[in-house]
């Protein structure tokens, strides 16, 4: 029996099989247990002989089971360690990655450039009221400049009306036609000195290769004591040099008109045609050169400062506004504004904005 039992134990392939062997041998009904029970019925002489034999058998079987059990457990552990091994040096599997859209990229670049000049980023609502978008900016209701803006008017529902009335000054609601209302929102909520830029979406009812009904502007506003046109020119020059990453940027300030600035200037940068491409930099007054309008700007109109509750004799400032999409086109050489909003990856890849 011993020989057979030890062979069966050594051959048990799994912990479950081994346990079945254990029950069959030393369990209550097991064959070794049955042998032990026969001792009781034996004569003392017989027991003296059989006792040590049967007990020895039981001990040998128990020891063999323990040994086999330890071996099987070790085997199971080895198998687990082998199968669960993680190689931390393996490169991670590739995942599709998104990329930064040129508009976002340019807004980030601008925020960074102006942060270095001490400008904070401000924002305002895209659904704006007539007062912030026009009236406070010295564009009264009858002003012809309103017609220039191709405004989208918004008709709030009666429930929206309740919400709108809590923040709107006046009944007319528009999609803001420029970022200039953020000038008003900043001047009415912060004490000067003020130095902010305000990037964001604006809306005009217009659509062709260079106009989309939604586009992006960035506004700049400085309000302090003793601010003059020289500060404006230096700021724009510094900003455009940093943005186009060239020291030889030449600016031309052309007298212009905006209701909210006086005097007003449109700002051009010089460019030259090089290898059939327009390259920003240098004076536009050279043969083959030209000027490209990039900004609207001016000294903040006294009436605008006063409309915001500030004393225009104490506080002066300058403001400027420009199209973010336009700046992106100029810097990265795109020619169709509409493509910015098509979400076509091939277009993004072509200009190096997606892989």
Nearer to ligand PHE, 211 or 246 (CB): 211
| Binding-residue pattern over the window 246 to 285 for ligand PHE, x denoting contact by CB under 6 A | ------------x--x------------------------
Q: Which is nearer to ligand PHE, 200 or 298 (CB)?
A: 298
Pairwise CA distance, residues 150 & 202, whole Å:
12
Confirm whether residue 128 is marked as ligand binding: no
Q: Structure tokens of 240?
A: 């455009």
Q: How many residues comprise the chain?
A: 355
DSSP state of 208: B
Instruction: Write down the least CB distance from residue 204 to ligand PHE, Å.
Output: 9
CA distance 125 to 45: 108
Identify which of residues 186 and 261 has a Cβ nearer to ligand PHE in the complex: 261
| Cβ nearer to ligand PHE, comparing 64 with 106 | 106
Task: For the CB of residue 282, give the shortest distance to ligand PHE in the complex, in Å.
Answer: 25
The residue with its CB nearest to ligand PHE is 321
- All residues at 6 or more sequence positions from 221 whose CB lies less than 8 Å from its CB, including other chains: 122, 182, 183, 186, 187, 194, 195, 196, 197, 198, 300, 317, 318, 319
Which strands form 173-175's sheet, in the order they lie side by side?
127-129, 173-175, 153-154
CB of 280 to ligand PHE, least distance (A): 20
Select from 151, 209, 176, 205 the least CA-distant residue to 341.
Answer: 209
Q: Which two tokens stand for residue 208?
A: 């062709």
Site track for ligand PHE across 298-337, x = CB under 6 A: x--------------------xxx----------------
Supply 307's token pair. Answer: 């409309």
Nearest to 182 by CA among 139, 219, 154, 145: 219
Instruction: Please report, as residue ranges, which positions from 166 to 195 form the binding site for ligand PHE (by CB under 6 A).
Output: 178, 180
| Shortest distance (Å) from residue 266 CB to ligand PHE | 8
Tell me how far, at minimum, the Cβ of 223 lies from ligand PHE, in Å: 13
Handedness of CA 11, 13, 19, 23 (dihedral sign): negative
Which of the stretches 47-55, 67-75, 296-304, 307-315 binds ligand PHE when contact is defined by CB under 6 A? 296-304
Q: Site size for ligand PHE, by CB under 6 A?
A: 11
Cβ atoms within 10 A of the Cβ of 24, count? 15
271 vs 320, beta carbon nearer ligand PHE: 320
Query: CB 180 → ligand PHE: shortest distance, Å?
Result: 4
Binding site for ligand PHE (CB under 6 A): 178, 180, 219, 258, 261, 296-298, 319-321
Binding residue numbers for Mg(2+):
262
């Amino acid at each position: 029996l011993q020989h057979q039992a030890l062979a069966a134990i050594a051959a048990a392939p799994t912990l479950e099989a081994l346990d079945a062997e254990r029950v069959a041998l030393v369990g209550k009904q097991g064959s070794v247990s049955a042998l032990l029970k026969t001792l009781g019925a034996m004569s003392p002489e017989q027991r003296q002989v059989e006792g040590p034999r049967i007990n020895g058998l039981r001990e040998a079987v128990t020891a063999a089971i323990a040994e086999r059990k330890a071996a099987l457990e070790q085997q199971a552990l080895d198998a687990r360690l082998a199968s669960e091994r993680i190689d931390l040096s393996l490169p991670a599997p590739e995942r599709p990655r998104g990329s930064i859209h040129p508009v976002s990229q340019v807004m980030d670049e601008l925020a960074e450039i102006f942060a270095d000049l001490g400008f904070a980023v401000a924002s305002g609502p895209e659904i704006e009221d007539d007062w912030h978008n026009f009236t406070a900016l010295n564009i009264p209701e009858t002003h012809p400049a309103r017609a220039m803006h191709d405004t989208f008017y918004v008709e709030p529902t009666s429930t929206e009306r309740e919400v709108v009335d809590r923040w709107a000054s006046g009944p007319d609601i528009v999609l803001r036609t420029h970022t200039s209302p953020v000038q008003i929102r900043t001047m009415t909520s912060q004490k000067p000195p003020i130095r902010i830029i305000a990037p964001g979406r604006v809306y005009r009812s217009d659509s062709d290769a260079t106009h989309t009904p939604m586009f992006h502007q960035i506004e700049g506003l400085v309000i302090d004591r003793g601010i003059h046109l020289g500060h404006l020119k230096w700021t724009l020059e510094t900003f455009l040099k940093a943005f186009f990453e060239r020291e030889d940027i030449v600016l031309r300030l052309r007298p212009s008109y905006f209701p909210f600035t006086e005097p007003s200037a449109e700002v051009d940068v010089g460019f030259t045609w090089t290898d059939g491409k327009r390259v920003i930099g240098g004076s536009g007054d050279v043969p083959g050169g030209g000027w490209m309008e990039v900004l609207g700007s001016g000294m903040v109109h006294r009436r605008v400062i006063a409309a915001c509750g500030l004393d225009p004799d104490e506080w002066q400032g300058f403001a400027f506004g420009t199209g973010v999409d336009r700046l992106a086109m100029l810097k990265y050489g795109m020619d169709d504004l509409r493509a910015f909003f098509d979400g076509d990856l091939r277009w993004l890849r072509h200009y190096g904005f997606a892989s």
